[in-house]
Amino acid sequence: MSVHASAVIAAGAVVPASCTVGPFCTIGPEVVLGEACELVSHVVLDGRTRIGARNKFYPFCSVGVAPQDLKYKGEPTETEIGDDNTIRECVTISRGTEKGGGVTRIGSNNLLMAYVHIGHDSQVGSHCILANAATLAGHVVIEDYASVGAFCPVHQFCTVGQYAFIGGGTIVTQDVLPFSLTSARRENKAFGINKIGLTRRGFTPERLQTLQKAFRLLLAAKLNTSQALEKIRGLEGADTAILADFIERSQRGIIK
C-alpha cells in the first residue's frame, strides 16, 4: 500500500494494498475501499461508506460526510459508490438520512466535475456526467447516462431521466424527460431529443426517428399530456415505453 506519511487512516478502515493514499487524506473507521482506488491529496472519506474499485478522488473532495439536514442527529446512515468513478476537486457527497431511505448511492463510470454536490439520499446511476458546480438537493434521482450541465441546481425529489442532457445554468424544479435536451435559454423547456448524445451512445437512426415522433407528439402537437401519452403508447419500441412510463410515474410534473 502506498500511503503518504501525513495521511490519517482510522483503525477499522479497510484499505486494500493496491490503493494509493496521498498527502493529508483522512479515512474514517467505517470506510471500506475497493481495489486500486487513488486518493490524490486532502481527501476526506467518512461515515459508513462503501466504495468499489478503481475510483479516483481529487483534492479536497469530501465523501460520506454528515448530511446538511437539521433533522439529522447522527443516525448510522450510509454512502455507496460503485466502480471506476472520477470524483474531481471539492466534490461533496453527503450520506443518507434515516427518513430518506438511509443511503446515498452512486453507480459506476461516472464523472463528477469540480464543486459538484450530491445531497443526502440522492441516487445517481452509472455513466453519468455532472459538470462543474452541478448541485443535487436531497432525494434527487439521476438515471443512467444522464448529463447535468454546469451550475445546475436540481430541486429535492426531482428525477432526471436516462440519456437526458441538461444545459448549463438550468434550474431544475420538475422531472427531466429521458432522452431529452432540456435547457433554460429564456425559460426551462425540453427542446426535443438529445440527438448528439444518443448517437454517441449507439442509438440507430430508426430508434432516433421513433423518439422524435414521440417528442413531437408531446411537445409540438396540440395535445394535452394525457392525449400525447396515449398516442406515444401506440408507437413501437422500448424507448417510447420508457418515456411513457416515466411521464406516468412523475410526482413533480415534467419539464415540457
Is 120 annotated in the active site? yes
User: Exactly one of 46, 83, 121, 175 is catalytic; which is it?
Assistant: 121
User: Model confidence over 133-144: pLDDT tens digits?
Assistant: 999 999 999 999
Is 167 annotated in the active site? no
User: Model confidence over 205-232: pLDDT tens digits?
Assistant: 999 999 999 999 998 888 999 999 999 9
Is 161 annotated in the active site? no
User: Exactly one of 34, 64, 138, 192 is catalytic; which is it?
Assistant: 138
User: Exactly one of 28, 34, 52, 120 is catalytic; which is it?
Assistant: 120
Domains of the chain in start order, with CATH, are 2-142 (2.160.10.10), 198-249 (1.20.1180.10)
User: Model confidence over 110-120: pLDDT tens digits?
Assistant: 999 999 999 99
Is 171 exposed, middle or buried, given 0-12, 13-18 or 19+ CB atoms closer than 10 A?
A: exposed
142 grid coordinates: 439521476
